Structure 1
Amino acid sequence: MARLFGTDGVRGVANDDLTAELAMELAVAAAHVLGEAGAFDDRRPFALVGRDTRISGEFLEAAVDAGLASAGVDVVDVGVVPTPGLAHLVNAQGADLGVMLSASHNPMPDNGIKFFQRGGVKLDDDIEDAIEQRLNEPWRHPTGAAVGRISRDDGTLLHRYIDYLVASLEGVRLDGLKIVVDAANGAASLTAVPAFEASGATVIGTNDTPNGLNINDNCGSTHIEGLQTAVVAHGADLGIGLDGDADRCLAVDASGEIVDGDQIMAILALYLQSQGRLHSNTLVATIMSNLGLINAMKHHGIKVDQTRVGDRYVLEAMAENGFSLGGEQSGHVIISEYANTGDGVLTGLHLAGCMASSGRSIADLASVMTTLPQVMINVPDVDKMRAGIDPEITQAVTAANRELGEGGRVVLRPSGTEPLVRVMVEAVTQEKAQHVAEELAAIVARRLAR
């Protein structure tokens, strides 16, 4: 049986794979596992529950509230809030548990459940496994005064989160900057524009009128074309593209060119280094980050510690070693001084802060790295588990890396969620990357065919 928890909680089509019954049972099991593991004090535990703007979040949130309360946990329902906002509030409010209903950048029919333990950090794999094993087990229901209470936040907590975002700039003002913010009709619709405006910027908000159905719908960081057009049309200095739960951020410069997660990390790494705040002169990135990032950081004396794909693995490496900055090319960027998880609005504010502090444009700042052409081919319907052990594939990858030399590389990895293998090639030219990727993809398709 496949593991229920993926790399970022439990996801599926809402009311099909992810039902109200499953949401309630997950909440109950989480309360039991964390309680027995000593994550709760002797006092009655309390949890914060939030959601993004998907219509399905309404009934899933109600199910989670009910499950926690029935297990004796007091609940404060925050309502619509960014995922990193909930993580911050769990820590700031001393909550024992946080539950977020969101499928991040996925399309609207999907939804998901992710848990945060005390401190606002994601659960370890072993705790997730224990929760999964405890689903639907018989248990003794508390009664009377032992039943949990449910209350609704009146917006106070959300405003505290916005205030925290602004305060993280530590006095740096964004006055004089014109910024377009695309909230993806998601959870940042209530927080992004207020945070940038309070920091002094002139802000044009787009896609910040969610109706429950339009989250990530041809907008936000996964469909950034609209933001590119808007930045040029408004003569803005910067565009910030968020995703549905606002844990990732991509940027657009004044000419409409995309500034991706690798470039954002490069800018922030050099800024932190200049202030002596880049711990061990190390940036944490995944194996999918562009070779241009590694080369640029090496030139400036910064080591890049590369992890498996997934922000949770970036976070693990950062926490284990106390590193200051990490992230993914997709725009998940973690600034550990201020957050335990990727925070798109926080990242955007600090990116704009680099512009304000230096007086340089975002395009100029991003020029610190030269992005190598990168080609990704997904090879579907294959036995992905054999990708790393098939001798012909291994030999082909070795030969391709030898051919590309220091000017390129190959990354071949099985998808964590689908029956496919991803072939990524970087090279000095687009044509070379495309040619090598197609050759390797053909070998993978032939050798791993079902």
Structure 2
Amino acid sequence: MVRKFFGTDGIRGRTNQGVMTAATAMRVGQAAGRHFLRGDHRHRVVIGKDTRLSGYMMESALVAGFTSVGMDVIMTGPLPTPAIALLTREMRADLGVMISASHNLFEDNGIKLFGPDGFKLSDEDELAIETLIQSDQPLAASADIGRARRIDDARGRYIHAVKQSVPQQVRFDGLKIVVDCAHGAAYEVAPSAIWELGAKIITLGVNPNGKNINDGVGSTSLDALKAAVIGEGADIGIALDGDADRLIVVDETGRTVDGDQIMALIATGLAARGALQGGGIVATVMSNLGLERYLAGLGLTLERAKVGDRHVLEKMRAGGFNVGGEQSGHMIMLDNATTGDGTIAALQVVSALVQSGKKASELLHLFDPVPQLLKNVRYAGGAPLENENVQSVIAEAEAELAGKGRLVIRPSGTEPVIRVMAEGDDEAQVRAIVERICAAVQDAA
């Protein structure tokens, strides 16, 4: 079945256009509610959101949809995506919904769904809901319409939960930490959790106005964080994205620490304590070869999944891993959460900093990344990767890199773009290979 609504991470698009309208959101609520009306108990859904202007509209539409088919609704207000996953499970809800477009700017929005176990929905569940969205659902009898209420203690519950990931004896006293919340969902909870553990906090991106989420701040815009870390003489900088499921770190010198280095740190610590499961970690095809080599030196493996934290999580659960993530900053630690959680990852990094007694610049650069280059090639139509010349150029490049690097060619799932990535020990060779493949794709398009 061709998906009309669900992409790789829920439903996402420009608000008031396409799939991201109030009318569609109401139908999503009716369809998802109907799909999860199982058993004879009173059914419940938890709905959270980030800080974008359209969140109010989408929340109201979803509430109308869910209550119209007989499901009760609990609204939390702005909270990180992992908080909604947590509360869905802890409150024995049948379904969780996060209204967010992650790291996108305010004009976009999205709907992410979680099952009663706190994990993102399976392909089977999503396809079933797709079908239901496109047909009218039977409405509840007047006496069975759902009720909706807001809860006031959701933020406190989440703060308490994330702090449990830090050993009881560890305190952050004496540390100065810059926390950039991207004017997003974690603007209150992340600084509060870190402050409660003893650190002095300097905040960025904590004044949402509905339109400034991810705008020049957060994990995809690090200039402001780097300037603040250096200007304040901070020990470390922490950047979350709009829904706070990813983390990027800046050390005290202003140098960026990406998801690969963070995964290396977390895996090293857990392996030393005998707590790393699966014999390694799961990352994506985009993670640097340097990470793979570093882990191999510790006797650990790097299993690779398709791009997307959902694919990482699937491979983690199938292989018994407890750590996984993406170079872009998604960090999944199944001992503590059922989805990526930037705040929990940040607490693990700062906890390691405290326990090591080292500076961030010493602790957080465990391997030297090999030269890596990614380029996107836009095409007008057709299937460039099926072109005989393109396939020949790719085969030659793979042979050239054999044993010395990697090549990843993949089409975008959302736009007519081919992504070409190569990495290897010889930077000039990597660049030449990428340029050669890009040229071949353009000629074939």
TM-score by length of 2: 0.96
Q: 1:195 maps to which residue?
A: 193
Cα distance change of structure 1 residues 401 and 350 upon mapping to structure 2, 3 Å threshold: same
Gaps of 5+ in 2: none
Decide whether the 8 Å contact of 1:249 with 1:348 is kept in 2: yes
Q: Deviations over 1:40-59 (max 9, x none)?
A: 33211101001100000001
Cα displacement (A) at 1:357: 1.4
Q: What is the aligned residue count?
A: 442
Q: Deviations over 1:22-47 (max 9, x none)?
A: 00001100111222xxxx33211101
Q: 2:202 maps to which residue?
A: 204
Q: Deviations over 1:119-158 (max 9, x none)?
A: 111111121111111124233321233110000112x121
Q: 1:431 maps to which residue?
A: 428
Alignment of 1:406-417 (within 5 A): 406-417=403-414
Alignment of 1:373-384 (within 5 A): 373-383=371-381
Distance 1:127 1:2 in 2: 12
Q: Which of 72, 75, 82 is equivalent to 2:73? A: 75
Specify the SS of the correspondent of 1:426: strand
1:24 and 2:26 matched: yes
Decide whether the 8 Å contact of 2:29 with 2:66 is kept in 1: yes
Q: 1:400 maps to which residue?
A: 397
Decide whether the 8 Å contact of 1:385 with 1:414 is kept in 2: no
Cα displacement (A) at 1:429: 4.2
Distance 1:179 1:56 in 2: 31
Q: Which one is further off, 358-367 or 289-298?
A: 358-367
Q: Which of 346, 351, 354 is equivalent to 2:352? A: 354
Alignment-mate amino acid for residue 308 of structure 2: G
Q: 2:158 maps to which residue?
A: 161
Distance 1:139 1:181 in 2: 45
Q: 1:226 maps to which residue?
A: 224
1:422 and 2:424 matched: no
Decide whether the 8 Å contact of 1:284 with 1:327 is kept in 2: yes
Distance 2:42 2:54 in 1: 29
Q: Which of 184, 196, 202 is equivalent to 2:182? A: 184
Q: Which of 38, 50, 64 is equivalent to 1:66? A: 64
> Percent identity, aligned pairs only?
43
Specify the SS of the correspondent of 1:222: coil
Decide whether the 8 Å contact of 2:34 with 2:137 is kept in 1: no
TM-score by length of 1: 0.95
Distance 1:280 1:2 in 2: 33
Specify the SS of the correspondent of 1:285: strand
Cα displacement (A) at 1:382: 4.7
Distance 1:20 1:367 in 2: 45
Distance 2:383 2:364 in 1: 38
Aligned residues: CA RMSD: 1.4
Gaps of 5+ in 1: none
Distance 2:187 2:260 in 1: 25
Q: 1:103 maps to which residue?
A: 101
Alignment-mate amino acid for residue 19 of structure 1: T
Alignment-mate amino acid for residue 363 of structure 2: L
Q: Deviations over 1:261-319 (max 9, x none)?
A: 00000010001101111113211000000111101111111100101111000000111
Q: 2:16 maps to which residue?
A: 15
Distance 2:388 2:304 in 1: 25
